[in-house]
Chains A and B, each alone.
Chain A
Amino acid sequence: MVEDEEVRIGVYICHCGLNIASVVDVKKAAEEVSKVPNVVVAKDYQFMCSQPGQNIIIEDIKQHRLNRVVVAACSPRMHEPTFQKAVERGGLNPYLFEMANIREHCSWVHEKEKVAATEKAIKLVKAAIAKARLLKPLKREKVNVIPRALVIGGGIAGIRASLDIANAGFEVHLVETRPSIGGNMARLDKTFPTLDCSQCILTPLMVEVSRHPNVTLHTYTDVVNIDGSVGNFKVKLLKKPRYVDESKCTGCGTCITKCPWTAPSEFELGLGKRKAIYFEFPQAVPLIPVIDPEHCMYFQKGTCRACEKFCPTKAIDFNQKPEEIELEVGAIILATGYSLYDVAKAMPEYGYRKYKDVITGLELERLVSATGPTKGHIVRPSDGKEPKKVAIILCVGSRDEKHLRFCCRFGCVAGIKHAYYIVSHIPDAEVYICYRDIRTFGKGYEEFYERIRNYENIKFIRGSPMEILQDADGSLYFDVFDANTNRIVTLRPDLVVLETGIVPHPTFKEVAKILKCAVGPDGFALELHPKLRPTETSVDGVFLAGAVQGPKDIPDTVAQAGAAASSVIALMSKGYVETIPYVSSINEDLCSGCGICQPLCAYDAISLVKKEDGKQVAKVDIGKCKGCGVCAAACPSGAAQQLGFNDEQILAMVRTLTR
């Protein structure tokens, strides 16, 4: 379009059925605005968004040589894209279009004042016309996408997402902070409701992802920094030293056998011990041990070196240093998972960590596991005896105003599964499940619940204990009010299992800070839309998989991981992204680099750069800019303007409305 071409505006007033037309006199409005300078044609129509409605615009653009279009209808959020596409089909730049909202902003809120509503609608349309006169064509920029993804978190979500992306033919870097991938799922003995062995279904995937030619595994590695934007992220990783040369180690385990020093095992949640040089767990991937300098005699006192002496491949390297790794990736999946709510600290009434025989559900998984600290025997941690009476308490911390408001989404069925563990290992045991509501929404969960409910020695008590106490003989007891029978029941269990609530894994907080992605009030990652865009974040090119977004069971986690992976694959298959056109634009002729805007940008899109003459100016990275307009509002000199919403355009609207 030529700059000084005569402005010819077409105005279309939508009835929206009766939504608008029953309140606003649309005929009168069309007639009134037809008198406004530059308006060439003004029409009203029943449904502008319909195909015939859009066709009116397209034909008028051609017939009346329109170069601006104004539609007065619903909210731009609803139909701006619809009309922009119509305008584009008519042969105009889609941003030479302006919308006036005379439904939400007018007819819906002024139902009873028809005359005044019509006047207001006319003013709103006139304001849109005033802005339309000053509209300039805008364009979207194309940014190439590096065909390589970063997946943060090596649990089931990260593994599944990595495999999906790798299988589509794209390179993946999978980062895990622990020495082995596997995550929390690797700790489980069986998975509900089918009771498959968790390791049996997980380890093949762990091995597959580690051997996949398109996947590079970075275990025992943290994400230190991420720069850039969708398509071009620059990532800095820090690989922690294992003190074992990965290229030489065969995973034979001789070093571990010979190591004389022990420490509590992180993987066994403190229930068992490990050596100072250890595998995360027997099926660890990669099967390479790591030395924990805090418990290693060599690091503490300079002696021992047993592992070094006995290693057949000379793989021990006490001089290993942290290694910085730099990567360029086009997209990122956050799959950092969850941690258990700190019940010991937050809920002392349950006596967790105070009484040895109060354990969490995840700890019970380790007791049941054949590779766990008791080789699969359920025993009381205090005296190693088989518990004959077990209380399982659901909703510990979850659905509690004082703690976590949300449901953990797997505690109920996990608790039911745990009851099954007990009675199948100790057939004469009695199990009491203290619950508030039983929620079994997943596929096959209700059937599983039905099945377990039929066990005579598994009893359900509707209520939560007030406080777990200890008698003089060391036995635990608590009172619980059973709302089903209206009685207070006193239980003296040998073992108490707490189905604790969950919180985001602490690494998420760090990564969210680096990426500046939105975090919800519960601390989990905030998705872009709870229903329609559940895997996307506020940062373009960063996706969510699994419990990082909110509590999830394994099927949901795997499904979301697949969804996140397919979003990444879609991005990479296309090979480019288009930026939004309503970005901030800084006029370098006016900018004096005062620096007001830079700290305000929530997306880190503004940097201050020195020009050749040594003077400072602000620069916008349009790949990162979301067009929020904060910099434009704050700019004291008016050098920063938001394209499509510049001062001139907005003031033209204000002047029209206040005339």
Chain B
Amino acid sequence: MNKPRLAIIPGANCAGCDYSLLDLGEKVIEVLMAVDIAYWPTAADLKLEDLEKLPDGSIDLVLFEGAVNNDETEEMAKLARRKAKNLIAFGACACFGGIPGLANVASKDGILRKAYIKSLSTVNQQGTIPCKLTRLDGIELTIPEFLESVKSLDQVVNVDYYLPGCPPPLKLVAEALTAALSGKLPPKGTVFGSMKSVCDDCKRIREDKKITEIKRYHQLIPDPERCLFEQGIICMGPATRGGCDAVCPTVNVPCRGCMGPTPGSQDQGARMLSALSSVIGLEVETGVSDEEVRKLILQVKDPLGTFYRYSLPKSIMRRVWGVRE
């Protein structure tokens, strides 16, 4: 009997997801023994041609890591889809755009100009900016070209399963691999994770959600027993899918939202923003001037990076072009 074929294909990624596989420990050997690796540039010496040569739909399980940010990763995403029987968006970037997705606050040209011309540490008097095709001494050099927006995998191709997290929690990786290798995958579209939010996994004591002041993490040593949100720290737990065993809150670090929106939610950032603005200053709400409301809300530093750290490309907000660089 043939072993199932597995490929792990990178997009715009940091390889952190690969490390999460290594967290399987000795079990990783069992997994590797049980499968044929068709492609895994991080770990196996296989070339792109090897992958391209395989018949379409012949790879039982493809894990795609990273966001789609340029024409190369877009091509890889399409290739992954063609070759895969089952395609899993692996990690927060593939699922929601992740950290690279924050690039969507600026335009493609704006980012290039900032990185290659305007940044203080750069000297670039000619104002040269990388472009797709460069001719030099009769040689043609090509490099990948940025897309106008960073996308999640499912904004480029159809995705069968989602395994969120930054990196994906080991327990869920094991669950997904076991299901795939035993041929017992859940219905297509399933997100590996909990139906509830991180709060459901979190053991901290919740008493009263009314908060009047937002504190940044360096401003206090949080009480290890009580809900971080109730201590004034913005913890994304209430708006984030559980299944991670609330590992961050357990060690006194607020949830940053890497598991993405909850199943009942359309927009993780908007949900959290709405929840926070509903409870902040609740006690003093009546008769408060607009200026005071502004002050309350201005306590949130970097709102976009706080509420949409991992999910900006999947927000229901639309981009307005040309507003800022």
List chain A positions with a Cβ less than 8 A from chain B.
Answer: 587, 589-596, 598-600, 608, 615-616, 630, 633-639, 641, 647, 651
With contacts A598-B209, A600-B279, A600-B282 taken as known, whether A638 is within 8 angstroms of B266 at the C-beta atoms is: yes
- Contact status of A637 and B278, CB under 8 A, knowing A592-B200, A592-B242: no
**B275→A589 contact, CB < 8 A:** no
The complex places the Cα of A617 from the Cα of B87 at a distance, in Å, of 34
| Nearest chain B CB to A591 CB, angstrom units | 7
Judging by beta carbons under 8 Å apart, are B271 and A635 in contact?
A: yes
**In contact, B196 and A590 (Cβ under 8 angstroms):** yes
Least CB distance from A587 to B in Å reads 6
Complex-state Cα separation, A637 to B242, whole angstroms: 10
Chain B 118-146 interface residues, beta-carbon cutoff 8 Å to A = none
**Chain A residue contacts of B206, Cβ below 8 A:** 593-595, 608, 616
Q: How far is the CA of A449 from the CA of B248 in the complex (A)?
A: 79
CA distance A313 to B42 in the complex (A): 99
Assembly CA distance A641 to B262 (angstroms) = 14
Q: Which among B198, B264, B265 has the highest number of chain A CB atoms within 10 Å? A: B264
Residues in B242-278 with C-beta less than 8 Å from chain A:
242, 261-266, 271-272, 274-275, 278
Q: Are the CB atoms of A596 and B238 closer together than 8 Å? A: yes
Say whether, besides A636-B271, A637-B264, A651-B316, A592 and B199 are in contact (CB < 8 Å). Answer: yes
Smallest CB separation, A166 vs chain B (Å): 39
Q: Which of B209, B210, B262, B279 contacts A637 (CB 8 A)?
A: B262
**In the bound complex, CA of A599 to CA of B265 (Å):** 21
Question: Smallest Cβ distance from A270 to chain B, in angstroms?
Answer: 35
* A594 engages B278 (CB within 8 Å): no
Q: Could you tell me the distance between the alpha carbons of A639 and B265 in the complex, rounded to whole angstroms?
A: 8
B54 interface residue per 8 A CB criterion:
no
Give the Cβ gap from A448 to chain B, nearest Cβ, in Å: 43
A638-B274 in contact (CB<8A): no
Closest to A631 in B: B278
Complex interface: chain B residues within 8 A of A596 (CB): 209, 238, 275, 278-279
CA distance A639 to B275 in the complex (A): 12
Q: How far is the CB of A600 from chain B (nearest CB, A)?
A: 5
Cβ contact within 8 Å between B282 and A637: no
Contact status B200-A633, CB under 8 Å: no
* Complex A-B, nearest 5 residue pairs according to Cβ-Cβ distance, in ascending order: A638-B264, A592-B200, A634-B278, A636-B239, A636-B238
Of chain B, the residue at the smallest CB distance from A598 is B209
Tell me the minimal C-beta distance from A521 to chain B in angstroms: 11
- Least CB distance from B206 to A in Å reads 5
B residues in contact with A641, CB < 8 Å:
264
Q: Shortest beta-carbon distance, B212 to chain A, in Å?
A: 12
Using CB atoms, name the residue of chain B closest to A615: B200
Q: Tell me the complex Cα distance, A639–B261, Å.
A: 12
B45 within 8 A of A: no
- With a cutoff of 8 Å between Cβ atoms, the chain B residues found around residue A591 in the complex are 196
How distant is A280 from chain B, measured CB to nearest CB, in Å?
A: 37
Q: For residue A658, which residue of chain B has the nearest CB?
A: B318
Taking the closest CB of chain B, its distance from the CB of A102, in whole angstroms, is 26
What is the minimal beta-carbon distance from B230 to any residue of chain A, in angstroms? Answer: 8
Given contacts A594-B206, A594-B209, A637-B264, contact A599 B237 (CB under 8 A): no
Distance, CA A595 to CA B237, complexed state (A) = 12
Chain B nearest Cβ from A513, distance in angstroms: 13
CB–CB A595/B209 < 8 A: yes
Cα(A634)–Cα(B316), bound, Å: 17
Query: How many whole Å from A204's CB to the nearest CB in chain B?
Result: 45
B200 (CB) vs chain A CBs: closest residue: A592
- Are A594 and B197 in contact (CB-based, < 8 A)? yes
**Contact of B290 with A by CB under 8 A:** no
Q: Beyond the given A590-B262, A634-B278, A637-B271, could you list 8 further A-B residue pairs with CB under 8 A, ordered by the A residue number?
A: A595-B209, A596-B278, A636-B271, A637-B196, A637-B197, A637-B238, A637-B239, A638-B265
Cβ of B195 < 8 Å from any Cβ of A? yes
Question: How far apart are the CA atoms of A616 and B202 in the complex, in Å?
Answer: 11
A/B interface sample: 7 pairs, CB < 8 A: A589-B195, A595-B206, A596-B209, A599-B210, A633-B278, A637-B239, A638-B264
Q: Which residues of B contact A589 (CB under 8 A)?
A: 195-196
Most buried by A among B195, B210, B229: B195
User: Which residue in chain B gives the minimum CB-CB distance to A639?
Assistant: B264
Which residues on the B side are within 8 Å of A592 (C-beta)? 196-200, 238, 242
